[in-house]
């Protein structure tokens, strides 16, 4: 998958650029994922959505790796890499994604994204402290400019929520931000031993197993069986998107570094704008346009 794409363009772009493009691709996919997940919350709940999409995405990736690389792709991995991959995905999906979806229900997608997209700053600090990743001036300036652009984009769309649910939603979004930051740092060391596709073929099944073991997932199979065909088709699409987007994100971390990949992958709100215009009949405001300009400017600075 990602490995073959990289080999095709390896003579055209360098590793860092490839990683940056992969991270941006994951941001586009996350924008679609957020909209799809929000539409399924009432039928399946946040844990149910995560469990099913992780299962579908994990099965697709395991089949792909076995078909293209064989069992050796899994048997040659060290025990420490297995442990870090397991911890990273449990932190990201079982905790981070689940509480993020809960925060969208409490305070709306826009507010939740505004708070949770601060995770790249936390990831950069943790990576600098524990992985000795350099924090250069372009990375600092580019990250801050990009974050400012994202806030400008989503702030005008912030839905109002009942006061008693506001602080719960904010707290959930902050927890999601912290979980994603830690998970991003945890996944970097194992990538020295394997491809991004193999890493995700391990991480997604682990996440799905953890989610299915939670008490909140007990009613999910029945709810899914009773759901209409439209819901089942959407969750299948969500699972397929999850498999591709997760590989693109990890490829970004592997080739562009934690700081750059996490910032670029967090630009999902910018890509959510055209989706909202097309599917929700929303208009592009001047403030949102200014946010797009700032976000793009920040992404350019990151590549200096």
pLDDT at 127: 84
pLDDT at 80: 92
- CA 66, chain centre distance (Å): 24
pLDDT at 10: 47
Between the alpha carbon of residue 1 and those of residues 61, 65, 205, 220, 254, the distances in Å are: 9, 9, 18, 31, 15
> CA 106, CA 167: separation in Å to the nearest integer?
9
pTM (2 d.p.) = 0.77
**What is the block-wise mean pLDDT of the chain (304 residues), using blocks of 10 residues?**
50 76 88 81 83 92 93 90 89 82 76 76 82 77 78 60 67 88 90 91 89 86 86 91 91 86 80 72 71 75 64
Task: Count other C-beta atoms under 10 Å from residue 108's C-beta.
Answer: 19
Q: Where are the domains of the chain?
A: 15-302
Cα dihedral sign, 215-176-127-250: positive
């Amino acid at each position: 998958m990602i490995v073959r794409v990289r080999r095709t363009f390896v003579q055209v772009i360098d590793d860092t650029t490839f990683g940056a493009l992969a991270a941006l691709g994951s941001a586009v996919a996350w924008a679609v994922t957020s909209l799809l997940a929000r539409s399924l919350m009432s039928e399946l709940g946040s844990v149910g959505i995560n469990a099913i999409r992780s299962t579908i995405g994990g099965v697709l990736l395991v089949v792909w790796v076995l078909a293209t690389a064989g069992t050796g792709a899994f048997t040659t991995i060290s025990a420490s890499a297995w442990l870090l991959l397991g911890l990273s995905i449990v932190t990201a999906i079982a905790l981070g994604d689940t509480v993020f979806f809960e925060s969208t229900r409490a305070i709306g997608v826009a507010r939740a994204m505004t708070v949770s997209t601060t995770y790249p700053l936390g990831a950069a600090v943790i990576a600098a402290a524990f992985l000795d990743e350099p924090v250069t001036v372009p990375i600092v300036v580019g990250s801050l400019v990009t974050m400012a652009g994202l806030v400008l984009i989503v702030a005008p769309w912030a839905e109002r929520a009942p006061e008693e649910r506001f602080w719960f939603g904010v707290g959930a979004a902050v927890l999601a931000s912290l979980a994603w930051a830690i998970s991003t740092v945890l996944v970097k060391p194992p990538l020295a031993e394997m491809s991004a596709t193999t890493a995700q073929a391990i991480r997604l099944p682990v996440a799905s197993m953890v989610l299915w073991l939670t008490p909140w997932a007990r009613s999910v199979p029945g709810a899914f069986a009773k759901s209409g065909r439209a819901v089942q088709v959407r969750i299948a699409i969500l699972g397929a998107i999850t498999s591709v987007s997760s590989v693109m994100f990890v490829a970004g971390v592997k080739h562009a570094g934690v700081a750059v990949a996490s910032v670029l992958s967090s630009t999902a709100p910018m890509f959510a704008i055209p989706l909202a215009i097309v599917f929700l009949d929303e208009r592009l405001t001047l403030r949102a346009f200014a946010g797009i300009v700032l976000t793009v400017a920040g992404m350019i600075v990151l590549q200096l």
